[in-house]
Structure 1
Amino acid sequence: MRGHDWINSTLPDELILEIFRRFDSKPTRDACSLVCRRWLSLERLSRTTLRIGASSSPDVFISLLARRFLHITSVHIDERLPVFLPSPSPPSRRRRERESSSVSSRKPRGSADKRRSEEERLEPSSLSDAGLTALASGFPQLESLSLIWCSNISSQGLISLAEKCISLKSLDLQGCYIGDQGLAAVGKICKQLEELNLRFCEGLTDAGLIDVAAGCGRSLKSLGVAASAKITDLSMEAVGNHCKFLETLSLDSEYIHDRGLLAVAQGCTLLKTLKLQCVNVTDAALIAVGTLCSSLEVLALYSFQQFTDKGMRAVGKGCKSLKDLTLSDCYFVSCKGLEAVAHGCKELTRLEINGCHNIGTLGLEAIGRSCPHLSELALLYCQRISNSALHEIGRGCKSLQVLHLVDCSSIGDDAICRIAEGCPNLKKLHIRRCYEVGDKGIVAVGQHCKSLAELSLQFCDRVGDEALIAVGEGCSLQRLNVSGCHQIGDAGIIAIARGCPKLTHLDVSVLQNMGDMAMEEVGEGCPNLKEIVLSHCHKITDTGLNHLVGNCKALETCHMVYCPRITSSGVATVVSGCPNIRKVLIEKWKVTDRTTRRAGNIISYLCIDL
């Protein structure tokens, strides 16, 4: 019967709750909560996760949330970014009349008062110990808590949290200035703790971490420490002694030496992920890791100036399960070290080499010959790696899906052609400032890599319209970045617009030969476009923006600084014509007062008055 509420009269609460739990999309859940009061109440009961940004009164906000959502087990609070509170709604007619009648009795506010009120409206306060106590009281079933850069909480708040949330399994305190007493309480009470992030917790010393290691040693599986000057080898020895089941360790410290890492390698033999940025650690520690941690799957070494091929040989010999290797600024690791890894770690699926100036063509050729499961390769600032290295990758790594090339001056079209021919499953290709790559290589990609979804060709001067025409005919891109490719004009972008209807992100900044014709085609052919960057495009005018906005109703972000032929009218067109617009980057003088009143909260300016 039309108009009859069959759902609410037939389905019990338990079944509706189960339906809500199966929704992965937050907007879908929010839409369901607006249907009726019953659904609103049930949707609140089904929520298990809350994500909270900066707010003007976080303590009060937490208390309100605790009363509305009763089954929360995971809370994420991130105060790194300030929040801009919405402008108050215009007063009603009766209120305006009442205010106008008493305006003569008011004292005018000075510019200092206005500035102070504006600052109060824009600058949020931080979560305090009282708010953390309210959070613990309101969500006693809490299992996961992230407090990112909550600078006002202390050990006292952490103690109350530990006392009330004894089921806590994951705790992220990145950037929080908490002390040893609070961390000791967590170690003493929260015996189920599995994940602990202490990055940039400058108030901690060895004492706090030792207490956690001793108290949660049986359960702790993941630990992160960075930029904590008072955490030294003593802490790592405690971790090695107590945390026998540790699987993930991330260390970024100049105060940890071989002694600490040796203790971890000896005691945490189940380690699977190890990320190190410790300038005072040498080959001795890496040899111990390679010898004792045979389950290691992820290894990332950053800024090591004391590691050599000796350590890499131990890794290649002992870590047969290694799948992910990152070498960043490891100046004394050479091709021989990479060859040792290639010969011993045949299950490798991801490799990143960043600024390792002694690694050249021979090392990467060994990877191509010995690691057939490689699916992601990133070469950044590798001047000594030439085309023949990628020839071997194309010949031996048929599963390659992601390739990043940045400032690799010896890699050109021949290498890209071999990758395209040998790796037909390529999905992401990002190339930046590789000046030997031109149309020939990218045409081959368009002809052979039919699954390509993301293409970035930043500042590749030799790439022109011919390359994009081939890509538009052969691939269905979702993301394209051709910033700084000066030879690309309307023809190339038109081909993409006609051949890639699923395009959601487009960066065509600094294209001097592209104009309104391309914008018209993008508007007609790419209705799902969410982000476009038009900065430094001198030929695009308000007319082009009109065509773009006419059909791209899903547009959320538009950057158009230094576009001399775009005026305030074009800015107003974007703001008024895109219902989902969230950010517009433009020069301040192109924004009228009317546009500011209408959408001031989504407009970002290139230059801000000081």
Structure 2
Amino acid sequence: MSQIFDFSGNEEFYHGGSIYSNPKEAGSFLSLGIVNHVDVYFPNKRARISAPLVPGGESLEQKKQVSLDVLPDECLYEILRRLPGDQERSSCASVSKRWLMLLSSIPSADLCNKFEVVAEEGDEIESDGFLTRSLEGKKATDVRLAAIAVGSGGRGGLGKLTIRGSNSVRGVTDLGLKAVARCCPSLKSVSLWNVSSVGDEGLVEIANGCHRLEKLDLCNCPSITNKALFAIAKNCPTLTSLSIEGCQYIGNEGVQAIGQFCPNLKSVTIKDCPLVGDQGVASLMSSASFVLTKLKLQGLNVTDLSLAVIGHYGKTVTDLVLANLQNVNEKGFWVMGNAQGLQHLRSFTISSCRGVTDVAVEAVGKGCPNLKQFVLKKCAFMSDNGLMSFAKAARSLESLQIEECHRITQIGFFGLLLNCGPKLKALTMSSCFGFKDMILGFPLPNKSAPLRSVTVSNCPGLGDMTLAMLAKLCPQLQCVNFHGLPYITDAGLLSLIESCDAGAGLVKVGLSGCVNVTDNVVIALAKYHGGTLEVLNLEGCGKVTDAGLVAIADDCLVLNELDVSKCAITDFGVATLARSKQLSLQILSLSGCSMLSDKCLPFLVKLGQSLMGMNLQNCNSISSSVIDMLVGRLFRCDILS
């Protein structure tokens, strides 16, 4: 022993060999938990033995601090999993990348304090998954995922994880998802968008470790196959929502497994997955039909068979979207409607389906008695006859939207209003080029249509004659939005404004892009509906001047949003608005008003006392210094310039 104390370091004390004759002895020694109390290190040139007590010897002086990093991963793993709490684990995770990755590799079941005891009887409560984390672009890396996984335990547990895109050099891989799977058993929602480096292995780990998963959203993940869906289906019975988009290797087998093993499935979206066909859709509908409420199928190689199955088994479906189904014909929609299984359907959207004809639309109207919202987009073979037949059949309809259906004309438009049910309140028509403004010869009925809101945009053939008939048929209108209609003038709009019930009054009026509208329309709106008008959009109405603003300032009592962008207004008009005693605007847009100058500064400041947002973009005569002054004075108002 005296030789040890007399050692000066000039001779070799330890030659680098193991202090154990059998290397396994060292591993068993450290795995017994003794590593929590012992720090032993033998360098080649200078010996240091640091221990609370050396058996058979004496205490030795510790000459310098030595890092735990000299220990192999197996030993460090055993130390880290015995940390007393979440705060200590988070602190250790910040020491180095090695420690972080080791901590993230420890399953929550292996932690010594997995549960927190909150009651004397020993009730144990897991984290409930209160945290939401989102990684996008360059921030999406495995290291960040590992940090989230380790750090979320003591803050309520990770409940929702969204990854969009990935770092091109060190992007998210299966390793990152494995860390989440091991450390976050409370995870309920996973969304992966445009993550090509994540495959089945990561999702299988999520399935094995996160049995409380309720929502899975996969978008453009080319490395994920049916194998991952099998694992999710068998291990996550609480799954309620599944969305698959642009996953080219997910097919019928994976969708079938989801339907078979997930009894709580309520929402399914399958888009642009070429391997999903009739077999997958049929299996899904027949298995999950008793709880499934929302279904969206888009860009799939399905035929009329899938529509027939939906019509038969979709007894609980309330929301249905069918888009870009090129192999579905008229027969499929006819069978779907006549199957009488969609009794609870409330919202139905059909887009870019060539099988939508007059016969198909009529069958849908008859087969969906509780349909309230119907959207038709890019249905080239539906005409006026189909629209009127549908209106007669769908008596519960409340909202109808028609977009890019070029066979719909003025006849179908008014035929719909004359034949619709008593509940239709909103009608939207967009980019229907079949409109031609003309006088119709049929007599108008005594009863009026129940319509409350009408929106027509980019239908260039609609003009004053159509507005005059609309005024006679729909006196209860409250919201009117006409966008990009160059042929409507003051005459048509004045007839509509004057015929609308003054008791209810117009609440929202939009005339953006109606270039022939003048101050006369604005004055009439203020006169007849100034007590109810809340939103007025005159963007691009170049013939509206300060005279219109004077009428608004005098008669509009509850107006809170005003858009006069690209109108012919000046500083005088803005001053008039500022002097109004009853006007209290919240949103004001003056974008592109080239005749405004720096002189309007005090008036904008006064208006800004009540404003939440002001748009001064492209007001070229207002200097940047004035804009800066406005920003400095109007703290509560967001200013676009």
- 1:380 is aligned with what amino acid? S
Matched with 1:462 is 516
Matched with 2:626 is 570
Q: What's the CA shift for 1:148?
A: 5.2
Residues 131, 156 of structure 2: 8 Å contact kept: no
CA distance in 2, matches of 1:420, 1:69: 59
Matched with 1:338 is 387
Q: What's the CA shift for 1:286?
A: 0.6
What SS is found at the alignment partner of 1:274? strand
Matched with 1:481 is 537
After superposition, the Cα gap between the structure-2 partners of 1:413 and 1:563, relative to the gap in structure 1 and judged at 3 Å, is same
- 2:391 is aligned with what amino acid? A
Alignment of 1:170 onto 2:218: no
Matched with 2:152 is 66
After superposition, the Cα gap between the structure-2 partners of 1:167 and 1:156, relative to the gap in structure 1 and judged at 3 Å, is same
CA distance in 2, matches of 1:70, 1:266: 44
Residues 172, 196 of structure 1: 8 Å contact kept: yes
Matched with 1:397 is 449
Q: What's the CA shift for 1:348?
A: 0.9
CA distance in 2, matches of 1:285, 1:423: 36
- For residues 162-201 of structure 1, give each alpha carbon's deviation from its aligned partner in whole angstroms, at most 9, with x where no partner exists: 3343233333334455612332222112212222222344
Aligned match for 1:540, one of 596, 602, 617 = 596
CA distance in 1, matches of 2:576, 2:182: 56
Aligned match for 2:283, one of 229, 233, 238 = 238
What SS is found at the alignment partner of 1:191? coil
Count of residues in correspondence between the two structures:
497
Q: Which has more radius of gyration?
A: 2
Matched with 2:378 is 329
- 1:272 is aligned with what amino acid? T
- 1:448 is aligned with what amino acid? D
- 1:159 is aligned with what amino acid? V
Q: How does 1:20-419 map to 2 (within 5 A)?
A: 50=132, 52=134, 54=136, 57=139, 59=144, 62-63=148-149, 66=152, 69-70=155-156, 75=160, 77=162, 79=164, 132=177, 140-147=185-192, 153-177=198-222, 179-180=224-225, 181-202=227-248, 204-216=250-262, 218-245=263-290, 246-277=292-323, 278-292=325-339, 293-295=341-343, 296-368=345-417, 369-382=419-432, 383-384=434-435, 395-398=447-450, 400-413=451-464, 415-416=466-467, 419=470
After superposition, the Cα gap between the structure-2 partners of 1:259 and 1:469, relative to the gap in structure 1 and judged at 3 Å, is same
CA distance in 2, matches of 1:477, 1:504: 9
**Where does structure 2 lack aligned partners over 5 or more consecutive residues?**
1-126
Residues 549, 573 of structure 1: 8 Å contact kept: no
Residues 539, 565 of structure 2: 8 Å contact kept: yes
Aligned match for 1:516, one of 571, 595, 606 = 571
CA distance in 2, matches of 1:183, 1:465: 62
Matched with 1:33 is none
After superposition, the Cα gap between the structure-2 partners of 1:508 and 1:167, relative to the gap in structure 1 and judged at 3 Å, is same
Residues 129, 188 of structure 2: 8 Å contact kept: no
Residues 173, 197 of structure 2: 8 Å contact kept: yes
CA distance in 2, matches of 1:177, 1:559: 43
Matched with 1:432 is 483
Q: What's the CA shift for 1:457?
A: 0.6
Q: What's the CA shift for 1:584?
A: 2.8
- 1:300 is aligned with what amino acid? T
CA distance in 2, matches of 1:507, 1:128: 48
Q: What's the CA shift for 1:347?
A: 0.8
Structure 1-normalised TM-score?
A: 0.70
Q: What's the CA shift for 1:253?
A: 0.5
CA distance in 1, matches of 2:158, 2:612: 31
Residues 150, 175 of structure 1: 8 Å contact kept: yes
Q: What's the CA shift for 1:211?
A: 2.5
Aligned match for 1:493, one of 549, 558, 571 = 549
Moved more, 333-342 or 263-272: 263-272
CA RMSD after TM alignment:
3.8
Q: What's the CA shift for 1:219?
A: 2.3
CA distance in 1, matches of 2:242, 2:634: 42
What SS is found at the alignment partner of 2:511? strand
After superposition, the Cα gap between the structure-2 partners of 1:397 and 1:135, relative to the gap in structure 1 and judged at 3 Å, is farther
What SS is found at the alignment partner of 1:570? helix
After superposition, the Cα gap between the structure-2 partners of 1:583 and 1:561, relative to the gap in structure 1 and judged at 3 Å, is closer
Residues 501, 527 of structure 1: 8 Å contact kept: yes
Residues 129, 187 of structure 2: 8 Å contact kept: no
Structure 2-normalised TM-score?
A: 0.67
CA distance in 2, matches of 1:135, 1:524: 60
What SS is found at the alignment partner of 1:338? helix
